Amino acid sequence: MGCFSSKHRRQFPGHEDPVSLASQTAFTVSEVEALFELFKSISSSVIDDGLISKEEFQLALFKNRKKENLFANRIFDLFDVKHKGVIDFGDFVRALNVFHPNAPHEDKVDFSFKLYDLDSTGFIERQEVKQMLIALLCESEMKLADETIEIILDKTFVDADVNQDGKIDKEEWQNFVSRNPSLMKIMTLPYLRDITTTFPSFVFNSEVDEIAT
Amino acid sequence: PVLMNAFELISTSQGLNLSSLFEK
């Protein structure tokens, strides 16, 4: 038995109820509360407004707010499901839920497809993959000749684009990742299993809030 | 890198490494 019964659970003013968020996700109520500690820390890093801006998201990822990054931008846009330009706590918990070790594999595959479908056409196109490869090269300061990039793209599309129409559809992607399971590694965050241990202060804050209210 | 498929390379981007969100 824990110290707190569900009716005494903390409410997050202006944010979705942790019990409701837990019911929609693989997280327990305590884990949602622990995620709130992480959310508070990220959402107050530039402006303490209870929302995560793109700048705050990049700061949390890179510890450097100046670092623009195509992939971080894309992840931010997928977290920001309501397209408000900011991530609220509900968005944050529901998006991280996909990365939970217990989340359905299909949800991970679906999220990864959206991630690489930069312009949301329902297909991963060759020019999108080339754009991502060039962004990666800029990020890592690795240099590859254009011919080498084209060889990598040729190889990838021969393997993934089964009907050879120059773009990868959802079914081709599902098939491709099932043959290349290592591509799904980025879709699971083992940290999420231990979130209450990483942010134990959620218990302390719960107690303080109960006394304060 | 020529031996790797494009997505294997892309998935090494730091921007896709969300574990850094949890590093205090």
Tell the burial category of A106 from Cβ atoms under 10 Å away from its Cβ (0-12, 13-18, 19+).
exposed
* Residues A108 and A177 grouped into a single domain: yes
* A125 and A155 within one domain: yes
What interface predicted TM-score (ipTM) does this complex get? Answer: 0.91
Say if residue B18 is exposed, middle or buried (CB neighbours under 10 Å; 0-12, 13-18, 19+): buried
Same domain, A80 and A109: no
Q: Which of A98, A121, A145 is the last residue of a domain?
A: A98
Please state, in angstroms and rounded to a whole number, the distance separating the CA atoms of residues A184 and B11: 9
Residues A83 and A137 reside in one and the same domain: no
- How many separate domains does chain A show? 2
Domain span at A91: 20-98
A71 to chain B: closest CA residue: B15
In this structure, the answer to whether residues A51 and A114 fall within a common structural domain is: no
- A176 shares a domain with A113: yes
Q: Are residues A161 and A116 in the same domain?
A: yes
Q: Which of A65, A98, A131 corresponds to the end of one domain?
A: A98
| Residue finishing a domain among A68, A98, A128 | A98
- Whether residues A110 and A89 fall in one domain: no
Give the CATH number, domain containing residue A31.
1.10.238.10
Residues A147 and A166 in one domain: yes
Q: Give which of A66, A74, A127, A152 to mutate to test B binding, by max B Cβ within 10 Å.
A: A152
Return residues 2-21 of B near A (CB < 8 Å): 2, 4-21
- The amino acid present at A205, given as its one-letter code, is N
pLDDT value for A13: 64
Strand-pair partners of A167: A125
- CA A183, CA A202: separation in Å to the nearest integer? 33
Total Cβ atoms within 10 A of residue A48:
9
Asked, for residue A194, whether it belongs to a domain, the answer is: no
Task: Indicate if A87 and A113 belong to the same structural domain.
Answer: no
Angle, alpha carbons A168-A153-A134 (nearest 5°) = 105
Q: H-type helices in chain A, by residue range?
A: 18-24, 29-43, 54-62, 70-79, 89-98, 105-116, 126-140, 146-160, 170-179, 195-198, 201-212
Q: What is the mean pLDDT of residues B11-24?
A: 89
Q: Is A111 on the interface with B (CB under 8 A)?
A: no
Let me know if residue A195 belongs to a domain: no
pLDDT at A141: 83
In a domain, A7, yes or no: no
pLDDT in tens, chain A (213 residues): 444 444 455 666 678 899 999 999 999 999 999 999 999 999 999 999 999 999 999 999 998 877 789 999 999 999 999 999 999 999 999 999 999 999 999 999 999 999 999 999 999 999 999 999 999 999 888 889 999 999 999 999 999 999 999 999 999 999 999 999 999 999 999 999 988 888 887 777 653 344 333
Residue type for A193, please? R
Please report which helix (H) or strand (E) contains residue A122, including its range: none
Cβ distance B1 to A72 less than 8 Å, yes or no, reads no
Residue A5 domain flag: no
pLDDT at residue number A7: 47
Q: Does residue A26 sit in the same domain as residue A64?
A: yes
A158 plus A172 within the same structural domain: yes
Query: Which site among A35, A59, A71, A111 would you substitute to test the B interface, given the most B Cβ atoms closer than 10 Å to its Cβ?
Result: A71
